[in-house]
Structure 1
């Protein structure tokens, strides 16, 4: 179980760091412009590695698989989420996106990939409650959900985009799990990044038609943020994500994202100097307890059953 905890915590810390680094770049760049540059640059960095593998990455099934994953996980999920940030408070958006494991479990059950029992459902529900405590309550300010934000057409459009991005992420996770057999994570990540960038590029050009709106990407601070997002997140974190899906399944891998609010809280306190409220510590405990019930306890019980079965076979042979 210790190795699982390390994998989940490591992935969550790397993935969550993207939001802190992204704040630096978004201050100068349109969110969709940032994502388009990030994904295309990530694909460019991966190109030498996939070329060394020969023409395997040019096989139609691999290209189709990566392209669909790029539309769902990169263009729709991140694109809609970043756009939603313009009208939806970031803590509320985190809560919405962190409900993805519940949707992932539902889609995995419907597709016949996994079974959903009461124990796992209860664990996910506890995690979501913990996420709400971590993300919504801020030190000294009560609930950070202004009533003014809950009204207006643009606000509701933002919530719709946030929910749409979460649904796309859940569908993409189940899709990756169901068709990952035989596909190299490197090839998938290349096509996912390339297609995600190409899909977002026309939207970026529409939102930022002037060259001056793109030149901010050359500022040193913004450029360093883009490089971090392209190399460490698009390449490193995505490889970790694909491994988690292949190793633990769609719904269990998605549970790693329930740690993201806690990871973001820790990184914000360590890097930005933000305070941590007592209710957020309670939320962290709830997240850990819910993950233990939904993922780790299930894995431990499964391993115990397998060990007992093997021992029984040895005893009868």
Structure 2
């Protein structure tokens, strides 16, 4: 299965859906979906509601392997079931979509112009459970706020250090050093980031192949060397706060990079929509993101 999934992610047409909002971002995700905080009393009910939302997305006919290569899940989503199957198994077996797991525990306070990841204290146990749940790969996010060379070096080193642990467990890491799209020196940060990532990629051994999830660069095709690097399975892009139409247009300018959108994917979905309305809205979003991911004229 893993070899087939690697081939699909490396060479397939489509994008990776990000359905991995965690504890801190779940209330906002629910609010965007039309469920306000006064509609749930505790965290358990909140997570029940967000799983209902994700189940509705994943089981929709619009959410299909013809356009979607993979889906990134939150830990609780991985441990819950859809139609009697664990979510990763449902994605792989029913939908033909490759499952990933978000493993980071959020961001540390800003220092040196970046936000490193908080320690992932239960990483080994989480990776073991991911293997039991037939998860293919992982995702972990940190954020660059300013073009600080020392901070960016630290952020990339942390990502690759943990990435090697993930590789050793048999999973494929998505390394995500996001550059804040509102940063005043975004383009400069991206230049520094590219060079630091190349240093780390060049130190990986054959077979230590990884993925990258990056903000859509200010300068189109800046990440061409990363896309073509032999240790890279795929480079995907986050929407980063851009509205869907703008994210799609920017993505089209970057050859070899496909989408991995979260908010942009679900921005037009609402709990009060009929199934017909919901499926139509999701289908429209999926189609435009697919088009931006494969249309690189």
Structure that is richer in helix per residue: 1
User: Greater RCO between the two (CA within 8 Å, min separation 6)?
Assistant: 1
Q: Give the structure-2-normalised TM-score.
A: 0.29
Report which of the two has the higher share of strand: 2
TM normalised by structure 1 equals 0.28
Q: Whose radius of gyration is greater, 1 or 2? A: 1
